[in-house]
Amino acid sequence: MSPDLPSLTFMQGTGNRFALVDEAAMAGRCSTEVVQALAAGDPSRQVDGLLILGWDDPGVDVTMTIVNADGSVAGMCGNGLRCVAFEAHRRGRGHGRTLHVRVGDHRLATRVLSVHGEDATVCARLPAAQVEPGCDRALIRVHVGNRHGIVLCSSLPTEAEWSTHVGRLQDVGLGGYNLHAVCIMDRSTISMRSWERGVGPTAACASGATATVAALASRGLVEPVVDVQQVGGVLRVRWRGPQQELMTMGGVGVVCSTSPAGTLLEVM
């Protein structure tokens, strides 16, 4: 990795990979240049996003800024939110209590439920879902701090098939959306394949999973608690009713960390 990179902690949440860095450690570095350097470096260090952590907001335990792999800023990241909560826990903040994370205008509650070495199960709240008016079963558009387009399918497309369909959706004005192919397995289980704005195909999308469950549960198509099966693993989502924050629960883990010079310090 480039010697110009700051100290980074690499984590994964349901298969999504992130590099976490303290705001102070950025020391004037351009976040776009940091993610570009990661993308051009060791393939094992390539990530879905850069999460910049701030520790000086008196109203929360930690703040999180999300930078996509292409350098654009995202409004929400559910898997990243759980990773940041675990990082705060690892630093001794909020042991045995709720941790609050600020993401943009949202103050979101999280809790580390269990820890097994460098892995953990973390519960987090995401913003209430807003389903855009005029949506039908063919394409449901939902906002949960970022925008999602949900396509219901009788069976999940292959990655190549979904990539082609994503291109068509982007051509008709959904380029700013995270896009998901969704199959209802039963009333308590769905499977999905995701394409994230600024990233591309991803192993999982927690904000997309919550948007999907909210859209389906509000229409009576699934139960309020749903297991969402994704390439990277399973995320449990609870819809608590209209205009209520959603609950998510899933695994996170430390992959490795690096020194400012890019030297690998530990691999889990």
CATH for 139? 3.10.310.10
CA atoms within 13 A on the CB side of 196: 28
Q: Report how far residue 210's alpha carbon sits from residue 206's, in angstroms, rounded to the nearest whole number.
A: 6
As a whole number, the mean pLDDT across the chain is: 90
180 touches 148 (CB < 8 A): yes
pLDDT at 96 over 80: no
Higher pLDDT, 191 or 175: 191
What's the pLDDT at 259? 58
- Give yes or no: residues 234 and 142 share one domain: yes
Of 42-46, 89-93, 165-169, 189-193, minimum mean pLDDT range: 42-46
| Number of domains within the chain | 2
Higher pLDDT, 68 or 97: 68
- Give yes or no: residues 134 and 237 share one domain: yes
pLDDT at 168 over 80: yes
What's the pLDDT at 138? 77
- Give yes or no: residues 81 and 189 share one domain: no
Place of tokens 């004005």: 173
Number of H helices, E strands in the chain: 5, 18
For 7-39, write each residue's pLDDT tens digit: 999 999 999 999 999 999 998 899 999 998 888
pLDDT at 175 over 80: yes
Largest Cα–Cα distance of the chain, in whole Å? 53
- Give yes or no: residues 98 and 172 share one domain: no
Domain membership flag for residue 82: yes
- 266 pLDDT band, cuts 50/70/90, is very low
- Give yes or no: residues 83 and 172 share one domain: no
What's the pLDDT at 135? 65
- Give yes or no: residues 50 and 113 share one domain: yes
- Give yes or no: residues 143 and 82 share one domain: no
- Give yes or no: residues 192 and 95 share one domain: no
For 123-165, write each residue's pLDDT tens digit: 999 999 998 876 666 789 999 999 999 999 999 999 999 999 9
Higher pLDDT, 267 or 11: 11
What percent of the chain has pLDDT above 90? 76
Domain membership flag for residue 3: no
Which of 95, 97, 99 lies closest to 108, judged by CA? 99
Domain membership flag for residue 1: no
- Give yes or no: residues 104 and 142 share one domain: no
Mean pLDDT, residues 49-57 taken together:
96
- Give yes or no: residues 161 and 75 share one domain: no
What percent of the chain has pLDDT above 70? 93
What's the pLDDT at 170? 92
Range of the domain at 139: 130-244
- Give yes or no: residues 14 and 112 share one domain: yes
The pTM (predicted TM-score) of the whole model is 0.92
What's the pLDDT at 133? 75
